[in-house]
């Protein structure tokens, strides 16, 4: 009865937040429902036959979305925390949303749960979800104010893995030496995915030939600007020429992880490549707008990968809008911008990017503007306006080429709302392509 | 003119944004036509007197800190750093680097990590995680830092120039010994130990503190003070640095003082 009450309360909060347009109801419903019924996640997730848990610093949302896209195309009904609310409350909110009010005790009519969990939440929440497959994407420095050092993150993951049943399929990034250290803590066998001749070193992905022993491998990689990349996806049984409609090496890792999950779930993976043709990026992750792109930046590794991807494609007429917030979801410590390689943007070969027009915004806009100055941009070309709406308007008004918007997490949410209010796109929780 | 920055254990001790301090020193020197070389000095490397003109020492993960503590003593680098600081060479150490330049770091378990006893201070592990924006009033050097030396009246009003801003993230609590000078007094944040309101330590031209952020880009006067001291020690004469347009840096500084101070 208490569970039913928790579900009803959660549903009511979702309803109210959406009616009042104060948000998507992706965290608050779960937060309050968990207070009433703490084991809600264990209880409700049991009603879904199969589940996958995805963790790591970067790429969780894209991996989850790609897997969901393929699973749906394969005829499965999927439930997932699609707004990127990846703490226990986000999972609880999603589960509550999935319960049908006409059959609150019945199954959820979903075949597969795909759960992204943040690095810290993983330890408490993953065991509650009894996943069939667990994916470890990578581990980089990110929000030390929240997660602590990389070694601490890894140590906690190792402790959690020791308790995971040996029959669980554990997938690890074989190019990330830190992630590989997890293998010894798991009683079962791990499977590795990776890109041939690439390795993750420090904050970056570098080209490096080395003997690799990968279960899921991308080889013959070709990058095609901001549009796509192509490669051969190789496993013991398959050799699939693949075109990924996303730029950058880092997205190849996400697609390999999604493929490896699909393989372990017994989905018809020879169709995987086909399904990618219709894949659309998660919001804010290489999101294409009529006049440019949005690339989320949130930590040194992820931001540097974004810079490396866009720099070769910048034209002299293009404009950049960067926004740095220091809210809790962004990380209150903005030190990370000094580890992100903004110099890459400045060294773009095609554009005389030193002369690019830059708009800088967010609660720590001046800090970011200073970073750009020290990266080599001329302060004369930098317009600072901490108010994102104003900065966005100015950037669009004077736009000649494409606008590249690089926001941190909460700035990205704010931007989505600005875009929705100005009729450029829908509210993110109303987006049709929710899988 | 030319400056060589010695980045102490830059491969191991660079945990969060500390490299921004190197970027700030390098750029601010280059913008004035001073040539800059950065030398990473790590485990097993030898270091000679006069080889570098300024030291930077960042923070690291616990494991790295143990290796570095042992190397500082074994390789003789610790002793040399002390000698160089004695003759006026400037140094900036943040967090882990700061701790290793004091007497020792005492962890929860296991033996003490010995430091090089340059700063009259010692650090004890605690279970408090001291995280957040930090603003300090740096009276110890604010006169030296500013070009307002002449206005030394005690009742002058504080301006944002008197503050240093950064972000701290530590659980070690540092205690200054008798006679040690703090870098400043905390107006917001924890500082050395969360109790006595002191933050950091200054000895001759060496500064140790808990301020990530990165510290120097948004406290440009401190960056210039270090550069000036480095050049003066190297060339043996008074150096006047050409002023730079610090509008953006000072706005970043001002926002932090206003928001958190």
Chain A residues in contact with B245 (beta carbon < 8 A): 379
Look at A370 and B248 and tell me if their CB atoms are within 8 Å.
Answer: yes
* Residue A124 and residue A88 in contact, taking contact as beta carbons nearer than 8 Å: yes
pLDDT tens digits for B104-134? Answer: 999 998 899 999 999 999 999 999 989 999 9
User: Which pLDDT belongs to residue A352?
Assistant: 57
pLDDT tens digits for B1-12? Answer: 999 999 999 988
* Residue A60 and residue A137 in contact, taking contact as beta carbons nearer than 8 Å: yes
User: Which pLDDT belongs to residue A10?
Assistant: 87
User: Which pLDDT belongs to residue A172?
Assistant: 97
Catalytic residue among B95, B170, B201, B209: B95
Look at A335 and B214 and tell me if their CB atoms are within 8 Å.
Answer: yes
pLDDT band at B148 (very low <50, low <70, confident <90, very high): very low
Q: Which residues contact A139 (CB under 8 A, 6 or more apart)?
A: A56, A57, A119, A150, A153, A154, A176, A178, A179
**In Å, what is the CA distance from A134 to each residue of A56, A82, A140, A258, B129?**
11, 17, 18, 11, 30
Interatomic CA distance for residues A92 and A32, integer angstroms? 10
Interatomic CA distance for residues A395 and A311, integer angstroms? 19
Q: Which residues pair with A200 in a beta bridge?
A: A176, A205
pLDDT tens digits for B217-250? Answer: 999 999 999 999 999 999 999 999 999 999 999 9
Interatomic CA distance for residues A407 and A139, integer angstroms? 21
What CATH number has the domain bearing residue B134? Answer: 3.40.50.880
* Structure tokens, A345: 């943007």
User: Which pLDDT belongs to residue B149?
Assistant: 47
Average pLDDT over residues A156-172: 96
User: In this predicted model, which residue has the larger pLDDT, A347 or A55?
Assistant: A55
User: Which pLDDT belongs to residue A76?
Assistant: 96
3-state secondary structure B102-116: CCEEECCCCCCEECC
Facing residue for A335 by CB, picked from B20, B27, B247: B20
The domain in which residue B73 lies consists of: 2-260
pLDDT tens digits for A309-347? Answer: 999 888 888 999 999 999 988 989 999 999 999 999 987
Reported ipTM: the value is 0.94
* Structure tokens, A241: 């020429």
Q: Strand, helix or coil at B34?
A: coil
- By residue count, chain A amounts to 435
Chain A residues in contact with B131 (beta carbon < 8 A): 145, 332-333
Closest residue by Cα to residue A40 from A95, A102, A87: A95
Q: What is the mean pLDDT of chain B?
A: 91
B170 catalytic? Reply is no
Average pLDDT over residues A11-22: 78
pLDDT band at B15 (very low <50, low <70, confident <90, very high): confident
The DSSP result for A191-243, as a single string, is EEEEETTEEEETTEEEE-------SEEEEEEEEETTTEEEEEEE-SS-EEEEE
Residue reference for tokens 């140094």: B91
Chain A residues in contact with B213 (beta carbon < 8 A): 334-335
User: Which pLDDT belongs to residue A284?
Assistant: 82
User: Which pLDDT belongs to residue A431?
Assistant: 54
| Full strand arrangement of the beta sheet holding B163-170 | B163-170, B130-137, B184-188, B198-199
* Structure tokens, A431: 């987006």
pLDDT > 70? residue A349: no
Chain B residues with CB within 8 Å of chain A CB: 14-20, 23-24, 27, 61-63, 131-133, 167, 169, 212-214, 217-218, 245, 247-249, 251-252, 254-256, 259
Look at B213 and A337 and tell me if their CB atoms are within 8 Å.
Answer: no
B108 catalytic? Reply is no
Chain B residues in contact with A337 (beta carbon < 8 A): 17, 20
pLDDT > 80? residue A21: no
User: Which pLDDT belongs to residue B141?
Assistant: 62
Facing residue for B16 by CB, picked from A333, A370, A384: A333
Lowest mean pLDDT among A161-175, A206-220, A380-394, B76-90: A206-220
User: Which pLDDT belongs to residue A150?
Assistant: 85
* Structure tokens, A404: 């590249």
Count of domains for chain B: 1
**In Å, what is the CA distance from B21 to each residue of A266, B8, B13, B24, B169?**
51, 13, 13, 5, 17
Closest residue by Cα to residue B206 from B90, B100, B115, B57: B90
**In Å, what is the CA distance from A157 to each residue of A134, A163, A178, B169, B242?**
12, 10, 11, 22, 52
Q: What is the mean pLDDT of chain A?
A: 89
The DSSP result for A231-248, as a single string, is EEEE-SS-EEEEEESS-S
Average pLDDT over residues A205-228: 86
Chain A residues in contact with B27 (beta carbon < 8 A): 374
Q: Give the fold, CATH level 3, of A2-276.
A: 3.40.1190
Q: In A43-120, which ranges are E strands? A: 50-55, 78-80, 112-116
pLDDT > 70? residue B151: no
* Structure tokens, A390: 């104003």
Catalytic residue among B201, B209, B212, B253: B212
Residue reference for tokens 């992880």: A257
Interatomic CA distance for residues A260 and B45, integer angstroms? 44
Average pLDDT over residues A151-180: 94
Q: Which residues contact A30 (CB under 8 A, 6 or more apart)?
A: A10, A40, A85, A88, A89, A90, A91, A92, A93, A94, A95, A96
Domain ranges of chain A: 2-276, 285-430
pLDDT > 60? residue A430: no
Average pLDDT over residues A209-219: 86
Look at B16 and A332 and tell me if their CB atoms are within 8 Å.
Answer: no
Beta-carbon count within 10 A of B135 CB: 24
In what helix (H) or strand (E) does residue A342 lie, and over which residues does it extend? Answer: none
A331 CB-side CA count, 13 A: 23
Facing residue for B248 by CB, picked from A141, A336, A366: A366
**In Å, what is the CA distance from B69 to each residue of A395, B62, B74, B116, B176?**
50, 11, 9, 9, 20
Facing residue for A373 by CB, picked from B19, B167, B248: B248
Interatomic CA distance for residues B27 and B114, integer angstroms? 34
Interface of A with B in 371-410 (CB under 8 A): 371, 373-374, 379, 382, 384
pLDDT band at A145 (very low <50, low <70, confident <90, very high): low
Distance to chain A for B223, nearest Cα, Å? 13
Interatomic CA distance for residues A320 and A196, integer angstroms? 33
Facing residue for A144 by CB, picked from B16, B62, B256: B16
User: Which pLDDT belongs to residue A353?
Assistant: 57
Q: Give the fold, CATH level 3, of A285-430.
A: 3.90.190
Is the CB of residue A76 less than 8 Å away from at least one CB of chain B?
no
User: Which pLDDT belongs to residue A122?
Assistant: 96
């Amino acid at each position: 009865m208490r569970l039913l009450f928790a579900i009803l309360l959660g549903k009511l909060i979702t309803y109210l937040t959406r009616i009042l347009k104060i948000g998507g109801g992706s965290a608050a419903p779960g937060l309050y429902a968990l207070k009433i019924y703490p084991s809600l996640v264990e209880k409700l997730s049991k009603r879904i036959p199969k589940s996958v848990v995805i963790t790591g610093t970067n790429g969780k949302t894209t991996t989850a979305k790609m897997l969901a896209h393929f699973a749906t195309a394969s005829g499965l009904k999927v439930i997932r925390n699609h707004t990127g609310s990846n703490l226990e409350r986000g999972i609880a909110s999603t589960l509550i949303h999935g319960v049908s009010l006409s059959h609150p005790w019945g199954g959820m009519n979903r075949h597969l749960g795909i759960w992204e969990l943040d690095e810290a939440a993983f330890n408490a929440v993953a065991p509650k979800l009894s996943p069939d497959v667990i994916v470890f994407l990578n581990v980089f420095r990110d929000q030390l104010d929240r997660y602590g050092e990389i070694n601490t993150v890894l140590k906690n993951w190792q402790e959690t893995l020791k308790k995971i049943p040996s029959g669980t399929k554990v997938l690890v990034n074989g190019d990330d030496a830190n992630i590989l250290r997890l293998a010894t803590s798991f009683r079962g066998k791990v499977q590795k995915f990776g890109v041939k001749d690439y390795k993750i070193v420090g904050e970056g992905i570098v080209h490096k030939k080395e003997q690799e022993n990968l279960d899921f491998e991308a080889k013959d990689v070709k990058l095609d600007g901001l549009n796509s990349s192509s490669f051969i996806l190789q496993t013991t049984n398959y050799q699939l020429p693949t075109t990924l409609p996303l730029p950058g090496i880092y997205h190849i890792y996400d697609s390999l992880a999604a493929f490896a999950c699909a393989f372990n779930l017994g989905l018809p993976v020879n169709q995987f490549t086909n399904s990618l043709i219709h894949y659309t990026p998660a919001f804010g992750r290489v999101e294409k707008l009529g006049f440019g792109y949005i690339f989320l930046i949130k930590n040194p590794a992820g931001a540097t990968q974004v810079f490396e991807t866009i720099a070769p494609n910048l034209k002299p007429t293009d404009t950049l809008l960067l926004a740095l917030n220091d809210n809790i979801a962004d990380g209150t410590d903005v030190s990370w911008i000094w580890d992100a390689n903004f110099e890459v943007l400045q060294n773009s070969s095609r554009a005389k990017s030193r002369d690019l027009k830059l708009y800088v915004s967010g609660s720590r806009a001046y800090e970011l503007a200073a970073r750009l100055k020290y990266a080599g941009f001329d302060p004369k070309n930098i317009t600072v306006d901490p108010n994102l709406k104003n900065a966005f308007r100015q950037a669009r008004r004077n736009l000649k080429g494409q606008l590249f918007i690089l926001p941190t997490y909460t700035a990205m949410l704010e931007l989505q709302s600005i875009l929705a209010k100005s009729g450029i796109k829908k509210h993110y929780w109303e987006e049709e392509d929710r899988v | 003119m030319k400056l060589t920055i010695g980045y102490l254990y830059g491969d191991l001790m660079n945990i969060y944004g500390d490299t921004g301090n190197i970027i700030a020193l390098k750029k601010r020197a280059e913008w004035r036509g001073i040539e800059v070389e950065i030398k990473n000095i790590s485990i097993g490397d030898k270091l000679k007197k006069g080889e570098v003109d300024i030291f930077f020492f960042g923070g690291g993960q616990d494991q790295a800190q143990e290796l570095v503590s042992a190397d500082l003593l074994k390789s003789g680098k610790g002793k040399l750093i002390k000698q160089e600081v004695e003759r006026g060479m400037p140094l900036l150490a943040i967090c882990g680097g700061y701790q290793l330049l004091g007497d020792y770091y005492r962890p929860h378990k296991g033996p003490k990590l010995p430091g090089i006893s340059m700063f009259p201070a010692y650090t004890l592990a605690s279970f408090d995680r001291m995280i957040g924006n930090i603003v300090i009033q740096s009276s110890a050097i604010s006169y030296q830092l500013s070009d307002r030396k002449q206005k030394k009246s005690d009742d002058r009003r504080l301006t944002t120039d008197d503050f240093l801003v950064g972000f701290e993230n530590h659980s070690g609590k540092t205690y200054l010994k008798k006679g040690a000078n703090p870098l400043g007094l905390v107006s917001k944040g924890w500082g050395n130990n969360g109790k006595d309101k002191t933050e950091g330590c200054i000895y001759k031209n060496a500064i140790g503190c808990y301020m990530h952020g990165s510290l120097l880009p948004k406290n440009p006067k401190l960056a210039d003070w270090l550069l000036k001291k480095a050049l003066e020690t190297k060339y043996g004469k008074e150096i006047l640095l050409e002023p730079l347009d610090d509008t953006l840096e000072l706005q970043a500084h001002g926002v932090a003082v206003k928001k958190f101070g």
